[in-house]
Structure formats: structure tokens, C-alpha cells
Amino acid sequence: MFDLDGVLIDSEQVWDDVREQLARELGGRWHEGAQRDMMGMSSPEWSRYMHDRIGLRESPEQINRIVVERMLDRYEDGPPWLPGALDAVWRVAGAFVLGLASSSNRELIDVVLDAGGIADLFKATVSSEEVAAGKPAPDVYVEVARRLGLEPAECTAVEDSHNGIRSAKAAGLRCVAIPNARFPPGDAVADADIVLGSLAELTVAVLT
């Protein structure tokens, strides 16, 4: 199971830029820890955070819609694929059933996978907005496993972030970590079963 943001696309900074710009436009109280706080949250969770903690007057639903529209604009010329991302997906798809467990909104997931021509390689994709709680809760990984007809212990997650690693391990998955350079996972990396330096190192042998 792949995560999306920070694993396949270099989008964590894009999310940060879009949300910070919106907060400043609307008179919110942005702070340095906001991006780390929101990494892994589902869209209902981070939009509520921006309303409650950042102090935007707009409703969480309005905040969510504006942010998603701006993210789609950023992806209009193509998603910011990380080096080797598409090759890695094709490489492991030849040996394993693939799922995707993402904190991105469903609309963004579909746009990214379609743009890369890899949508059909994933048997199940789940947005954390479709489950009760976002990462670090285990819900999104548990749901992907359910849709694949597998037990979580039969699955391996590929993650980059603190909350993502915590989520995968809480769900009972094996976890391969490829730490995000801009937003390092900190002490959570110690919980990963395997730590790699890049997607180029994600081979069938590593996952077997």
C-alpha cells in the first residue's frame, strides 16, 4: 500500500503553501507547527483545525473546498512526481496487489493517479475523508486492507511521515519508510521495519 503525498508526489510543501496563503488572506493565525500538525489529517480534520486553531471564520466545508480548488490548480500542469515514483509503482505492480492509503481528498487522488496513467494498477484506493479518522489513526490502512480482502498483517505500507508510519503500524502493517526530507518523521522512523533512501531502492526483493 502506497501513501501518496510525500511518497509518490512531492506535495507536502504545496499543501503547506496553499493553506498558509489562505490563512494569511483570511486573517488567520498561522504558526510554524501548523503543517506538521495537519500532516496525515483527513480533510474534515484539517479544515476543522484551520477553522478552530488557525482562526478562519469560514466554515470547514468552505475552507476545504477552497484548498482543494487551489491544489487542483497547482496540479493542472501535472502532479509534482517524486523521482522514480512511476517506475516504482510499475515495478512492484508486477509482483503485488497494490492499494493506496492517502490523506488527500478523493478528487485529488483520482486526478493524480489518472495523470500518471497508473490508476488501473491500484485495486483499492482510500482517502482518509472516507473513514472515521485520519492518520495517525489506523483507519485508512485498515479500510484498504478490507477492500483488498486481506488481513493488515499481510500488507506492507510505504510511508514518509511521522503520522503515516504511526498509522501503518497501528493498523498492523509492515512498514517501509522513505523519510520525507522537508518534513522528517522524527522518532517514528524507528518504528518502521525497513528504511530506504529513495524510491529507487523500493524493489520487489525489499518487499518480499
Q: What's the grid cell of residue 124?
A: 483499492
Residues 6+ apart with CB under 8 A from 157: 1, 2, 3, 101, 141, 164, 167, 168, 171, 173, 174, 175, 176
Same domain, yes or no, for 201 and 151? Answer: yes
Average pLDDT, the chain: 96
Domain count, the chain: 2
Q: Please report which confidence band the pLDDT of residue 32 belongs to, taking 50, 70 and 90 as the band edges.
A: confident
Residue 133 burial by Cβ neighbours in a 10 Å radius (0-12, 13-18, 19+): middle
For residue 1, being part of any structural domain is answered with no
For residue 150, being part of any structural domain is answered with yes
Same domain, yes or no, for 143 and 47? Answer: no
For residue 168, being part of any structural domain is answered with yes
DSSP string, 89-100: HHHHHTTS-EEE
Q: What pLDDT is attached to residue 181?
A: 83
For residue 80, being part of any structural domain is answered with no
Q: What pLDDT is attached to residue 172?
A: 98
* Beta pairing class for 174-177 and 156-159: parallel
For residue 3, being part of any structural domain is answered with no
Which of 42, 74, 106 terminates a domain? The answer is: 74
The alpha carbon of 147 is separated from its chain's Cα centroid by a whole number of angstroms, namely 18
For residue 103, being part of any structural domain is answered with yes
CB 179 within 8 A of CB 189: yes
pLDDT per residue over 90-139, tens digit each? Answer: 999 999 999 999 999 999 999 999 999 999 999 999 999 999 999 999 99
Q: What pLDDT is attached to residue 145?
A: 98
User: Residue 113: which CATH number?
Assistant: 3.40.50.1000
Which of 24, 55, 74 terminates a domain? The answer is: 74
Same domain, yes or no, for 186 and 112? Answer: yes
Q: Please report which confidence band the pLDDT of residue 31 belongs to, taking 50, 70 and 90 as the band edges.
A: very high
For residue 130, being part of any structural domain is answered with yes
Same domain, yes or no, for 90 and 119? Answer: yes
Residue 167: what are its φ and ψ, rounded to 5°? -65, -50
Q: What pLDDT is attached to residue 90?
A: 98
Q: Please compute the mean of the pLDDT values over residues 76-87 and round it to a whole number.
A: 97
CB 86 within 8 A of CB 114: no
Q: What pLDDT is attached to residue 76?
A: 94
Positive or negative: CA dihedral 43, 48, 50, 53: negative
| Between 183 and 45, the higher pLDDT residue | 45
Positive or negative: CA dihedral 33, 37, 38, 39: positive
Question: Which residues span the domain enclosing 32?
Answer: 12-74
Which of 45, 74, 103 terminates a domain? The answer is: 74
Q: Please compute the mean of the pLDDT values over residues 147-159 and round it to a whole number.
A: 98
Same domain, yes or no, for 92 and 32? Answer: no
User: Residue 60: which CATH number?
Assistant: 1.10.150
